Amino acid sequence: TFKGYDQKNATYNGKRVTFTGIWEVTPRPHHVSYTFVSVTSGVDLPKFIQKKAPKDGSTYFNRTRVFAEEPTTKTYIDSV
């Protein structure tokens, strides 16, 4: 957001006046979401497996390192 010019520190070199603009930077927050999908074409995962995807409620900003969370359950055997 442009806040204005620094009037006190304007410079004059005999030909022109130079003003310095003042900006306030407000970083945009980013969030992480996880989704499980089947690698088998045409097969959707059951809702109860999709619900096991990790949840990350943190807020991240540009250049923040983010590491993927490991799911708590990595295997499911259908007993049918």
Whether the predicted model's global pTM rises above the 0.75 cut: no
The domain spans of the chain are 2-50
Q: Does pLDDT of 80 surpass 80?
A: no
Structure tokens at 51: 């619900």
7-64 tens-digit pLDDT: 888 888 889 999 999 999 999 999 999 999 999 999 899 899 999 999 999 999 999 9
Q: Which residues pair with 60 in a beta bridge?
A: 30
> How far apart (Å, rounded) are the C-alpha atoms in residues 41 and 19?
61
> How far apart (Å, rounded) are the C-alpha atoms in residues 46 and 73?
14
Three-point CA angle 52, 54, 73, nearest 5°: 45
Contact 63, 28 (CB under 8 A): no
Q: Which residues pair with 5 in a beta bridge?
A: 21
